[in-house]
Amino acid sequence: MAKQTIRDLDFNGKKALVRVDFNVPQTKGGDVSDDRRIRAALPTLTHILDHGGALILVSHLGRPTGDPAADAPFKMDRVAARLSELIGRPVQKADDTVGPDAQAKCAALKQGEVVVLENVRFNTGEKKGDPDFARQLAGLADCYVNDAFGTCHRDEASMVAVPEQYPAESRAIGFLVEKELTILDQLLGKPKPPMVAVMGGAKVSDKIGVIESLLKKVDRLLIGGAMTYTFLKAQGHEIGKSRCEHDRLDVARKLLELGGDKIVLPQDHLVTTSIDPKEAKTSVVEGPDLPADQIGIDIGPKTAARYAEIIKGAGTVVWNGPMGKFEDEPFRQGTLTVAQAMASSPAVTAVGGGETAEAVEQFGLAEKVSHVSTGGGAFLEALEGKAFNSLGVIPDRG
């Protein structure tokens, strides 16, 4: 059942509290280094403003500790400044979330104006789902919009307790969340066959549930990244100095048994003597066994070509996790080859947030795939079929 969206709400003369996901990557100095999540929210924000509303935006940023000095880079000032540049109008910034400055700025807010509240995780009530904090936050606006897919798997106050403060007819999802749910419906419902999943990244343990779930649906599951070496070790192969979850070998064996010939492991590997790209001496190793002094750092060229060919013949492809340490030029070819195959494929192609989204963005291919999720953890949990309380509090469309 489709959820109530911002198309169903009347914003004229009203203040909308919009939970956005502006948890953007930052430089060491605190500047916004990647504004993709801010840009992704613009259609929702523009719609509300164009329909006579005013915006009160709430988001978290980073992982505050409670130490004012250490948390200074996580203030929302530079995010608000970047939003102002992107949306083309002034954006106010409140110095607190539910305190005197936020209350004053929100009370004075006029039609067409925008205020960004201070980092919601500066308040201990956010993580605890505190009802008093939720009431104060909800009291700033007339209606609530969830456009923070990357946080939908969290039961924090701004995601669940705050929308519960409003009448059902005053709660909705934004266009970003709607788009995420639409692609997930395609992936979990009746995906166009054959369906291929590409799974990479460091840990098998992070993706046990989603791999189990996907194995029921996919025709092929292509494995890359450091998790490769946990699977190979579980099969009894030598993995050199490669990263391995030795406490998850039994899990890897069970997944291999469950997947059978659906699971495709690399047939060659880029190996290195050092993960430092300046010191690295790379070579390609054929077969499943690695020399004792080498580190597996990327899928090899034969594997990359094979994966590209499988993707080329797919009807649906979902990808989460890079094939290697793509951040460094010597180790990125496997991830780049998969990204290029996704971009040129006629299939429905979904990239599952996190590092994978960063990779396709870095390679300039984000616009050439069907969908790039803004939520890594949320995307994976949704693929497992988990229900989110943050969406449960938003009414279904009648």
DSSP strands (E only) in the chain: 15-20, 54-58, 92-93, 114-116, 143-147, 171-173, 195-199, 220-223, 263-264, 268-272, 282-286, 295-299, 316-320, 348-351, 371-372
Cβ partners under 8 Å of residue 149, min gap 6? 21, 176, 177, 180, 373, 374, 375, 378, 379
- pLDDT at residue 272, rounded to an integer: 96
296 appears as a binding residue in the annotation: yes
Beginning with the edge strand found earlier in the chain, give each strand of the sheet holding 15-20 in spatial order. 92-93, 114-116, 54-58, 15-20, 143-147, 171-173
Q: Which two tokens stand for residue 209?
A: 């549930």
Across the strands, what pairs with 199?
A: 223, 320
Residue type, 169: E
121 appears as a binding residue in the annotation: yes
Q: In 10 A of CB 54, how many CB atoms?
A: 21
Residue type, 239: I
Q: Is 350 left (phi over 0), alpha (psi -120 to 50) or beta?
A: beta
182 appears as a binding residue in the annotation: no
- On whether the CB atoms of residues 151 and 177 are closer than 8 A, the answer is no
pTM score > 0.85 for this model?
yes
- Catalytic residue ranges: 37, 203, 354, 377
- pLDDT at residue 89, rounded to an integer: 97
Q: Which of 224, 198, 193 lies closest to 211, judged by CA?
A: 198
- pLDDT at residue 72, rounded to an integer: 92
22 appears as a binding residue in the annotation: yes
| DSSP letters for 324-390 | S-TTSGGG-HHHHHHHHHHHH-SSEEEE-SHHHHHHHHHTT-GGGSSEE-S-HHHHHHHHTT---HH
61 appears as a binding residue in the annotation: yes
Cα radius of gyration rounded to whole Å, the chain: 23
Chain-centre distance of CA 112, in angstroms? 30
- pLDDT, tens digit, for every residue of 245-263? 999 999 999 999 999 999 9
pLDDT tens per residue across all 398 residues of the chain:
589 999 999 999 999 999 999 999 888 888 898 898 999 999 999 999 999 999 999 999 999 998 988 999 999 999 999 999 999 999 999 999 999 999 999 999 999 999 999 999 999 999 999 999 999 999 999 999 999 999 999 999 999 999 999 999 999 999 999 999 999 998 988 899 999 999 998 888 888 989 999 999 999 999 999 999 999 999 999 999 999 999 999 999 999 999 999 999 999 999 999 999 888 899 999 999 999 999 999 999 999 999 999 999 999 999 999 999 999 999 999 999 999 999 999 999 999 878 899 899 999 999 999 999 988 889 989 988 899 999 999 999 87
Find the helix or strand (DSSP H, E) in which 102 lies. helix 100-107
375 appears as a binding residue in the annotation: no
Q: In 10 A of CB 278, how many CB atoms?
A: 7
Q: Which of 177, 161, 145 lies closest to 16, judged by CA?
A: 145
Length of the chain: 398
- pLDDT at residue 385, rounded to an integer: 87
303 appears as a binding residue in the annotation: no
Domains and CATH numbers, the chain: 6-175 (3.40.50.1260), 190-383 (3.40.50.1260)
- On whether the CB atoms of residues 285 and 271 are closer than 8 A, the answer is yes
Query: What span, in angstroms and rounded, lies between the C-alpha atoms of 36 and 34?
Result: 6
- On whether the CB atoms of residues 262 and 284 are closer than 8 A, the answer is no
- pLDDT at residue 338, rounded to an integer: 98
37 appears as a binding residue in the annotation: yes
- pLDDT at residue 27, rounded to an integer: 87
- pLDDT, tens digit, for every residue of 19-39? 999 999 888 888 898 898 999
